[in-house]
């Protein structure tokens, strides 16, 4: 947990509950002056006091991680650093104060900034009668999953109830059980055949589900599970969707597909059995994938959802990125502060993993504020219909706070302090002066260039004025 942010989180939660410092201090059994020091990040919080804080404020321990403030702070810094706004640099202290002291105002600033970006990049998309669209559909859906820490109890219950009826016994035999359920209950005939530009196609007229012959076995199982979720778990999905109230039909459909994918994953990797296996195998992702007969990416995706009360897994972030740096999937239960706009750090294992295909690469990544994460990444490829087509290749990366590293097999043999690699959120937001991988100068610094001297970094800059 980041000590830097715990004080702001406590202050926010106390304010939301209209408690004075004296009132909360009395309930915690500490002095008001001590609580004041905690809220201003001048005193660390012991484990016992942290637990008491969670109980007194009636929140889960993860809510005391400072994740909300951290994400707000990163988003606000990105917005204020946009050179097209033409504003003077805003000091980090003011950004931190806004995110911590006025979170609703901070979110409103971000909403305005997003609306401006949508208007600039997608001029036709902002002109809705309701005026509600402030995000592109994919961004709205990404935020929705982030807000729920990629965990949906209602969908887990629906998947477990269905899995109990299938009762395959052996996890790897779930594919056969799903195919038989589709046939016997719904009369759906599953075939594997050549499909032009499609991986799965369902024809309601013939009640036939056609799967592409290019799909590997584990992917065929997932697509069958998706079809079964569509037929038997639609009510749970629509309940979650109604509560989310997406702003556009596009966002609603993207969200619906994402929730059906969630149930499909939960069906072939039931929570209780999967959580037990992950703990037993210490998050060895290839071993977990083999046990459940799923792909490496499917196993990683499922790991990022294990946040059930009373049976939590290690909180991980999940990221899928292509060779150009485009992020196609992103979930974070670990509180990693992803940059919303622009690329990420080229020193991060997420990008260096492309150099060694199919091998898991491990890195202890340290952000400029000192927060450190155990990260691991591996390339995954997708099938192609013809040999001349470029094979889609991505890196799937995961990470957890170093405080949880002992529970993860990839930390074995690592010196978690000495092995750290300094990374930034993106070149535009990174203050590291000695980075040879820097692609762009930082937005909030003045360049200091000297034709008589060549350094390891192409952009030398002055320290930011405080």
Retrieve residue 465's tokens.
């004025």
State how far the alpha carbon of 83 is from the alpha carbons of 108, 116, 336, 424, 444, in Å: 20, 14, 25, 19, 10
Is residue 453 pLDDT above 80, yes or no? no
Share above pLDDT 70 across residues of the chain, in percent, rounded to a whole number: 85
Retrieve residue 44's tokens.
């660390």
18: phi > 0 → left, psi -120 to 50 → alpha, else beta; which?
left
Is residue 343 pLDDT above 70, yes or no? no
Asked if 423 and 367 touch (Cβ cutoff 8 Å), the reply is yes
Instruction: Give the separation between CA 463 and CA 466, rounded to whole angstroms.
Output: 9
How does pLDDT run across 79-110, given as a tens digit for each residue? Answer: 777 766 666 677 777 887 787 777 778 888 88
How does pLDDT run across 347-385, given as a tens digit for each residue? Answer: 999 999 999 999 999 999 998 888 899 999 999 998 887
Q: Predicted confidence band at 133 (pLDDT cuts at 50, 70, 90)?
A: very low
How does pLDDT run across 237-293, given as a tens digit for each residue? Answer: 999 999 999 988 999 999 999 999 999 999 999 999 999 999 999 999 999 999 999
Of residues 107, 92, 94, 73, the one with CA closest to residue 442: 92
Of residues 152, 166, 373, 394, the one with CA closest to residue 268: 166
**Residue 4: which residues within 8 A CB-CB, separation 6 or more?**
41, 66, 369, 370
- Ranges 70-79, 304-313, 341-350, 441-450, most confident: 304-313
Exposure b/e, 84-110, CB count within 10 A at least 16 = b: eeeeeeeeeeebbebbbeebeebeebb
Q: What average pLDDT score do residues 117-126 get?
A: 54
Q: Sign of dihedral through CA atoms 452, 456, 459, 461?
A: negative
In the sheet that 189-193 helps form, which strands lie side by side, from edge to edge?
189-193, 208-212, 200-203
Please give the pLDDT value at position 62: 62
Asked if 76 and 106 touch (Cβ cutoff 8 Å), the reply is yes
Q: Give the domains, in start order, of the chain with CATH numbers.
A: 3-136 (1.10.260.40), 153-311 (1.10.10.2910), 314-429 (3.30.450)
Residues comprising the chain, all counted: 466
How does pLDDT run across 411-425, given as a tens digit for each residue? Answer: 999 999 999 999 987
Please give the pLDDT value at position 220: 94
Q: What average pLDDT score do residues 54-65 get?
A: 74
How does pLDDT run across 314-323, given as a tens digit for each residue? Answer: 999 999 999 9
Please give the pLDDT value at position 255: 96
Please give the pLDDT value at position 75: 78
Q: Predicted confidence band at 137 (pLDDT cuts at 50, 70, 90)?
A: confident
How does pLDDT run across 384-418, given as a tens digit for each residue? Answer: 877 888 889 999 999 999 989 999 999 999 999 99
Please give the pLDDT value at position 84: 65
Retrieve residue 225's tokens.
């599970």
Chain centre to alpha carbon of residue 408:
18
Name 420's bridge partners: 364
């Amino acid at each position: 947990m980041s000590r830097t942010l715990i004080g702001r989180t406590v202050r926010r939660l106390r304010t939301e509950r209209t408690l004075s410092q004296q009132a909360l201090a009395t309930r915690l059994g500490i002095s008001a002056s001590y609580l004041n020091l905690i809220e201003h990040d001048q005193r660390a919080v012991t484990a016992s006091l942290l637990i008491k804080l969670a109980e007194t404020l009636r929140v889960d321990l993860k809510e005391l991680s400072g994740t909300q403030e951290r994400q707000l702070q990163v988003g606000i810094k990105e917005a204020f650093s946009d050179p097209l706004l033409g504003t003077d640099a805003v000091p980090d202290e003011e950004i931190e104060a806004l995110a911590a002291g006025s979170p609703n105002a901070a979110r409103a600033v971000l909403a305005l900034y997003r609306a401006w970006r949508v208007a600039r990049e997608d001029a036709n998309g902002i002109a809705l009668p309701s005026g509600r669209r402030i995000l592109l559909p994919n961004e709205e859906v990404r935020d929705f999953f982030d807000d729920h820490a990629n965990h949906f109890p209602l969908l887990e219950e629906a998947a477990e109830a269905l899995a109990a009826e299938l009762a395959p016994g052996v996890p790897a035999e779930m594919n056969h059980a799903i195919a038989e359920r589709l046939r016997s209950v719904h009369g759906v005939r599953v075939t594997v055949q050549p499909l032009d530009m499609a991986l799965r196609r369902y024809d309601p007229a013939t009640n036939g589900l056609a799967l592409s012959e290019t799909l590997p076995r584990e992917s065929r199982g997932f697509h069958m599970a998706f079809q079964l979720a569509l037929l038997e778990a639609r009510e749970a999905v629509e309940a979650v969707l109604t509560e989310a109230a997406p702003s556009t039909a596009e966002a609603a459909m993207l969200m619906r597909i994402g929730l059906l994918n969630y149930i499909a994953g939960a069906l072939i990797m039931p929570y209780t059995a999967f959580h037990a296996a992950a703990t037993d195998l210490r998050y060895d992702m290839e071993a977990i994938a083999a046990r459940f007969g799923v792909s490496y990416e499917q196993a990683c995706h499922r790991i990022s959802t294990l946040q059930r009360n009373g049976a939590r897994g290690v909180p991980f972030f999940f990221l899928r990125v292509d060779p150009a740096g485009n992020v196609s999937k992103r979930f974070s239960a670990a509180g990693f502060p992803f940059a919303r706009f622009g690329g990420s750090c080229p020193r991060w294992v997420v990008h260096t993993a492309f150099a060694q295909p199919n091998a898991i690469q491990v890195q202890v990544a340290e952000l400029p504020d000192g927060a450190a994460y155990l990260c691991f990444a591996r390339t995954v490829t997708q099938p192609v219909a013809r040999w001349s087509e470029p094979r889609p290749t991505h890196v799937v990366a995961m990470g957890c706070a170093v405080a949880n590293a002992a529970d993860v097999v990839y930390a074995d043999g690592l010196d978690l302090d000495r092995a750290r690699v300094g990374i930034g959120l993106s070149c535009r937001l990174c203050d590291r002066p000695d980075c040879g991988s820097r692609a762009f100068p930082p937005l909030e610094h003045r360049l200091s260039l000297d034709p008589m001297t060549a350094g390891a970094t192409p952009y030398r800059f002055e320290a930011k004025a405080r």
